[in-house]
Structure formats: structure tokens, C-alpha cells
Amino acid sequence: MANNEESRGLKSLLDWFANRRKSGSISVERQEREIADGLWNKCPKCGVLTYAKDLRANQMVCTECGHHNRVDSDERIRQLIDANTWKPIDENLLPADPLQFRDRKPYSDRLRETQEKLGLIDAVKTGLGEINNLPIALGVMDFRFMGGSMGSVVGEKLTRLIEQATQRRYAVVIVCTSGGARMQEGMLSLMQMAKISAALQRHRDARLLYIPVLTNPTTGGVTASFAMLGDIILAEPKAMIGFAGRRVIEQTLREKLPDDFQTAEDLLKHGFVDDIVPRTQLKNTLAQLISLHQPAPTTPHMVLWETRSLSSTAVE
């Protein structure tokens, strides 16, 4: 009798585990649907699930391990610019297909599909705004648009942004994230490196501030030009920053590279980056730097001193 009760108990226990396994698979599917619906985010670094609203409130930085999730241009602008101060410029510049480039599909079709999917015209947004009440000219690259590649529109918009900043005597901040020059535009994309660099030189000649913020990833022709021409170069933690890819360099040098090669921390150690700033501190850090580099106000005492200096020089 006892054996029969034990066997029935064992059978019911096995049935319970079987039902539990079935219900577990359903809950996993339900959980995946909830994650896909945007209610939760799973950290790609530590695997912790975070409520989407909490993650966004922490500027898309994992509260458990500090991993910086990639953000789009709209989110980046929201994080940096004071509310109701953003004024976009050159929104209607459209990319063209001067080379009639075609790989698996025509470049013109690829552009149109990407624009329709993302609601973006190209891989950068530019505009004027304020950071903690300080005026700024801001450019934000978006990696979703063809890997943030730098084509003619990206180069033209950034050049116009810098020229406006020089005219208005604003500091320039460019948030960089890119796979490099856009191969579909050939030499025209490479020309943007020189064009933006020339505008930055004129900005520097006017004794105005330029700060690039290097995010993950910043590579190719962007790194080889305006990303490394800043007066102060900032980077996000663990961002990949480089020119050629790791595998290409290893095959060329025929030696193994360090694990932290092309990370922001490695570049800071070798002097290529001035500081690594967590995203949650970026806005205040930029505001402090811009405030420190504001032109000194002209006072009557200063004008009198300058007049006396000029007079003494003239007498001599």
C-alpha cells in the first residue's frame, strides 16, 4: 500500500515537473515578447534586465555594470541640450548618387530604404542650442544610418555648422560615431575630411573652442580627420576608437595586439584622448569646459589698460 502511494506521489511529482517545464517555456516566450515590445532591456555586457524607463532615465547606461548602450541622434540631443532650445539647421540637405554606385542594390535605393526605415535624411543631425544655458553648435552622428558613414551630406552639414559657430562665436561639439568614409561616394566622401578640417582651422584661428566626443565606435576617415582635431578630446568609457580594423592591423604587423587595443582607455593612456567621461556626467562636463573657455568680458578698466599699452607702444 505504501509503495503504491509512493509511486503515485512520484508520478504526480514528475507530472508537476513536466507541467512546470511547459509553463516555463511559455513564460520564456512571453518574456521575449515583452522584451521585444520595449518594456525591458537586457544588458549585452552583464545580462541584467532593466526596466526600459529606468534605463532611459539613466541615459541608457546599465545601472549594474555601467555598460554604455548605443543611442540614436534624437536621444543624444535630448540628453545634452536644454529643453526647448534646440534649433536644427540644414535639415533639407539630401544625399545624391553622383557615381551611380551599385553593389547588391543601387546606392539610390539603399538611401531611400534607409531614410524610410529610420526617418533620417542622412547620418548626422546638426543644430544650435544651449547646454546649461550656454550657447553651443552641436553635431550628432547616427550609427543607424549606414554605419554612420561620412558622405557628402555629412561633410557639408558639419562644415556649415562649424562656419555658423565661427560667425556666432559659439563653441562646437561633435558627437562622433562612424564606420568611416562612405564608400558609395568614393573620392567625394574622402574630400569631406579636408573640408571639415579646413572649417575647424578657421574656427581655431578665431580662438574658439571645439570638443569632439568619441563614442562607440569611431573609426576610419572620421577618426583620421575631425574626430582627432579637437582642442579637448573626450570619449565615452570602453568606446572603440581607431582607424583600420584590428584584424587588418594584426595581419599587417603579424603580431597579436593587446586585448584593450583601440579602446578609449588605451588611447587615454597613450595621450590620444584627454579624458573619459561617463555619459551621465557628459552634459555637466561640457558645460564646465565651455564656461571656462568663454571670452572674457570687456570692462572699462581693461579698455583703459589696452589704450595705455597701445599709446606707450606708439610712443616707442
pLDDT in tens, 99-158: 999 999 999 999 999 999 999 999 999 999 999 999 999 999 999 999 999 999 999 999
Give dist(CA 25, CA 19) in Å, integer: 10
Which pTM value belongs to this model? Answer: 0.82
Q: 153-163: buried (b, 16+ CB within 10 Å) or exposed (e) per residue? A: bbbbbbbbbbe
Q: Give the model's confidence band at 316: pLDDT under 50 very low, under 70 low, under 90 confident, else very high.
A: very low
- pLDDT one-digit tens code per residue, 180-197: 999 999 999 999 999 999
258 preceded by a cis bond (ω within 30 of 0): no
